[in-house]
Amino acid sequence: MKKTDVLIIGAASSGAYLAKLLAERGYAVTVIDKLSKEKIGTKYDIFHIETKEFEHFGIPRPVKGDPAWAFEFSREQTADPMDRYPKEGYNPKVGLHMHEYTVLMDEWAESFGAQIVYEAEFREFVFDEGRIIGAKYKRRGRINRIDASVVVDCSGIPAVARRALPDGYGIEKFPLAGDDMFYVVLRYVHLNREADRVTEYSRGWPYFKSWIAPCQDPECAIVGIGACHSFENADRIYGEMLRSISLPEHELRYIERGVTPYRRPPYSFVGDGFVVSGDAACLTKPINGEGVTSGMVHLGIVAATLDEALKNGDTSKKALWKINTEYNKMQGADFSFLRALLTGVVNAASFDEFEYAFESGMISDELLSAGAEGGEFAPAPGVLLNAAYQMLSGIVSGRVSKKTALKNAAGIKALYLAFPDTPERYARWCLEAEKLWKKIGKLR
């Protein structure tokens, strides 16, 4: 039987980032992933990281010619539902190949001493007197056991370890399915006319939750849509979008479909000898469902707390509780505010109201650039900006009650800012939170 300080389940962006942070502090870190190294990070191809985030999180920054690098662009256009009043902001981003970047992150973690075991599938926890002390995994037909002071679930949407917790372990075990996901469809298209190329900018139509963005091949583009509820709903909204927006003349090359969590995270991320993070903990941005770097905000807190806990030889729920308080009072509170605001306003704002917000100049180039240049990382500046204009558009005709949307958003933020410092008052806090989330409802 093997022993390690920290066992991480999942060797994609979240697992690799945490493994590096802990291995560089001198801990024995083992990461298991059910996929082979050749298959890791193949759930879809292209994703983006804002250029400034590489330095902020200290993560590898691929450059042109590296296998993970696909393209870069810095201009972001946002337009009304009839595409008549586009606005432009500046927010440099790097487009990356998911598989290649995941391999890069894994090798980076290994260079600090983390051990990654591929083709190793989590099966069950190992307990001692009801407390998690390790896990069993299956590799090449054999069951192996590994003991650890802490097990961290970074297994993404399946949340295999969080969902396998015994009842009463202190963390919600909800599955991620149906209304709790954002359904993303990416159409990789060839643009027939050179004049239509989008190598320098992306253009989004928030009313349709759709966009066109650069692709690794400069003659091509990615036309994306992300919608709630189902792929059928995404296809329906895409059809609506095509009736309003004239996309450049193109030929469809291929389609990728993927899902990303779109719901509030579990109220607590910790149990005795256990932590959940990344997509497994629903840490994606409320505005667009992106989760690579928003997960890293949480993982930074996890690493610092585990460092202290492992030094003190105490990885009990109480010792790990700081992860809950620090996260919930920071990005957790901001994301809750945004989720509530977006849900309240977007559910009620009409086509005409969106159109008016752009036409009237309420949404301006200056506003877009100011949002992108802001220094705040939690949440990303563009996130706040989008929420602001969506709210404005809703308020225009008075159809959306400014008071209700803002009251719910402010209320949930205040509650997260008052997250209990110890597990004792947690049950009562959850009851309050549950009541408020029920009022807020879900995005349509």
Residue 125 CA to residue 148 CA, distance in Å, equals 11
Looking at the Cβ atoms of 123 and 318, the one nearer to ligand FAD is: 123
| Eight-state DSSP code of residue 109 | H
Tokens at 35, concatenated: 């996929």
Residue 356 CA to residue 363 CA, distance in Å, equals 9
Looking at the Cβ atoms of 28 and 49, the one nearer to ligand FAD is: 49
Looking at the Cβ atoms of 133 and 213, the one nearer to ligand FAD is: 213
Q: How far is the CB of 439 from ligand FAD (least distance, A)?
A: 27
**In what helix (H) or strand (E) does residue 4 lie, and over which residues does it extend?**
strand 2-9
- Residues binding ligand FAD (CB under 6 A): 9-15, 32-35, 40, 44, 47-48, 121-122, 154-158, 160, 184, 186, 258-260, 278-279, 284, 290-293, 295
Answer for the pair 283, 301: CB distance below 8 angstroms, yes or no: no
Q: How far is the CB of 335 from ligand FAD (least distance, A)?
A: 13
Q: How far is the CB of 57 from ligand FAD (least distance, A)?
A: 11
Looking at the Cβ atoms of 58 and 420, the one nearer to ligand FAD is: 58
Q: How far is the CB of 330 from ligand FAD (least distance, A)?
A: 18
Answer for the pair 92, 2: CB distance below 8 angstroms, yes or no: no
Q: Which CA distances in Å does 194 have to 71, 218, 246, 286, 382?
A: 18, 10, 16, 35, 30
The identity of residue 48, as a single letter, is H
Angle at CA 415, nearest 5°, toward 259 and 295?
Answer: 35
Question: Phi and psi for 394 in degrees, rounded to 5?
Answer: -70, -30
Residue 415 CA to residue 404 CA, distance in Å, equals 16
Looking at the Cβ atoms of 159 and 392, the one nearer to ligand FAD is: 159
For the chain, give the number of residues: 444
Q: How far is the CB of 301 from ligand FAD (least distance, A)?
A: 15
DSSP 403-422: HHHHHHHHHHHHHHHT--SS
Q: How far is the CB of 295 from ligand FAD (least distance, A)?
A: 5
Q: How far is the CB of 261 from ligand FAD (least distance, A)?
A: 7
Q: How far is the CB of 264 from ligand FAD (least distance, A)?
A: 15
Looking at the Cβ atoms of 47 and 205, the one nearer to ligand FAD is: 47
Looking at the Cβ atoms of 61 and 407, the one nearer to ligand FAD is: 61
HSE on the CB side for 356, CA within 13 Å? 13
Q: How far is the CB of 410 from ligand FAD (least distance, A)?
A: 27
Q: From the CB of residue 183, how many other CB atoms can be counted at a distance below 10 Å?
A: 22
Q: Which CA distances in Å does 17 have to 10, 98, 276?
A: 11, 14, 14
Looking at the Cβ atoms of 260 and 305, the one nearer to ligand FAD is: 260
Q: Which CA distances in Å does 207 have to 77, 81, 82, 176, 362?
A: 14, 6, 10, 25, 15
Q: From the CB of residue 407, how many other CB atoms can be counted at a distance below 10 Å?
A: 14
Q: How far is the CB of 47 from ligand FAD (least distance, A)?
A: 3
Residue 302 CA to residue 323 CA, distance in Å, equals 6
Looking at the Cβ atoms of 157 and 198, the one nearer to ligand FAD is: 157
Cis ω on the peptide bond leading into residue 379 (within 30° of 0)?
A: yes
Looking at the Cβ atoms of 29 and 259, the one nearer to ligand FAD is: 259
